[in-house]
């Protein structure tokens, strides 16, 4: 089956998740692979196997080169300990024995690898179903997700006006990405769970040392403001620190540098210098915040 047909069929089976991003009405998939509301606002399924629900052109800072680099790094196993931790957290807090699949939205899914790896963890540990949807503002990232990972609903869309109905998801995953807590609260079921991952102070410290001197503000990082904002909107169920070292194959150093925002403020000569250092081990350092929306 062509990717466009498989995507349209999957979206059509789960069209009840969607609401029109223009007028808020329910939507259905028609025979032309168009997701349509009663006011005739329509959004076509794209050939690569995703659907764009943007209502206007939006420029993203994240391009294809960065997402291809991130996909290489993710496939190498860089995030596996983190994804395993997230998977166990969901299994502990969400029932895996019901007839209905667990519904997971990856808000800021990028090139899709983390949602796909999370689904693998879920399927390994339980026979319950898993329905994953990924949303990102970048068409380039979502196109890679659709190319690489079938069986998921991939959407280009604006998190500030997400194209999903109220209380559609059991879990929202938000990994190293921007948040919109108002939308998260709207989209989660009453007993739903938000898992937000932010970098710890030691994350990719070896790259910081290679790219910036001690006077640079990039050398220091604190997630306290992010944590405080989370707590304004969500009650914390759990807070976990996860830190581990990753041995890099030589061919993965450049993709790692290219995928991280750490390199965006660096001059090209600084990036080249970091490459010449041939870093072979980097630290992954994350804070995993698990919460439920405050009583509505």
* CATH code of the region 3-292: 3.40.50.150
pLDDT band at 211 (very low <50, low <70, confident <90, very high): confident
**For the purposes of burial, counting CB atoms within 10 Å of the CB of 176, is it exposed (0-12), middle (13-18) or buried (19 or more)?**
middle
CA dihedral 153, 156, 160, 166 (to 10 degrees): -30
SS3 annotation, 159-190: HHHCCECCCCEEEEEEECCCCCHHHHHHHEEE
For position 219, what pLDDT does the model report? 58
| Domain range annotation of the chain | 3-292
For position 72, what pLDDT does the model report? 93
Residue 261 — φ and ψ, nearest 5°? -60, -15
Q: Which tens digits make up the pLDDT trace of 217-247?
A: 565 677 899 999 999 999 999 999 999 999 9
Q: Which tens digits make up the pLDDT trace of 151-206?
A: 999 999 999 999 999 999 999 999 999 999 999 999 999 999 999 999 998 998 88
Between CA 10 and CA 6, with CA 189 as vertex, the angle to 5 degrees is 5
For position 95, what pLDDT does the model report? 65
Q: Which tens digits make up the pLDDT trace of 23-67?
A: 999 999 999 999 999 999 999 999 999 999 999 877 776 788 889
| Listed residue (250, 237, 147) closest to 192, CA to CA | 237
């Amino acid at each position: 089956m062509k990717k466009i047909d498989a995507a349209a069929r999957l979206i059509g089976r789960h069209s009840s998740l969607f609401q029109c991003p223009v007028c808020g009405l329910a939507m259905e998939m028609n025979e032309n692979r168009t997701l349509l509301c009663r006011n005739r606002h329509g959004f076509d399924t794209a050939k690569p196997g995703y659907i764009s629900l943007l209502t206007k052109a939006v420029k993203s800072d994240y391009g294809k080169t960065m997402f291809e680099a991130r996909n290489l790094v993710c496939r190498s196993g860089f995030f596996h300990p983190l994804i395993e931790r997230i998977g166990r957290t969901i299994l502990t807090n969400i029932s895996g024995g019901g007839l209905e699949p667990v519904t997971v939205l990856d808000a800021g899914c990028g090139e899709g690898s983390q949602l796909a790896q999370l689904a693998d963890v879920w399927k390994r540990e339980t026979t319950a179903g898993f329905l994953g949807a990924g949303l990102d503002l970048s068409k380039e990232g979502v196109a890679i997700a659709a190319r690489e990972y079938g069986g998921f609903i991939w959407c280009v869309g604006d998190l500030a006006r997400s194209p999903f109905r109220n209380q559609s998801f059991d879990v929202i995953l938000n990994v190293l990405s921007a948040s919109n807590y108002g939308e998260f609260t709207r989209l989660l079921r009453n007993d739903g769970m938000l898992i937000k991952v932010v970098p710890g102070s030691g994350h990719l410290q070896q790259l910081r040392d290679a790219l910036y001197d001690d006077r640079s503000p990039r050398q220091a990082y604190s997630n306290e403001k992010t944590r405080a904002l989370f707590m304004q909107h969500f009650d914390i169920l759990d807070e976990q620190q996860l830190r581990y070292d990753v041995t890099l194959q030589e061919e993965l150093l450049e993709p790692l540098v290219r995928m991280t925002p750490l390199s965006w403020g660096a001059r090209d000569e600084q990036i080249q210098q970091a490459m010449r250092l041939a870093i072979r081990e980097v630290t992954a350092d994350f804070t995993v915040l698990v919460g439920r929306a405050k009583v509505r």
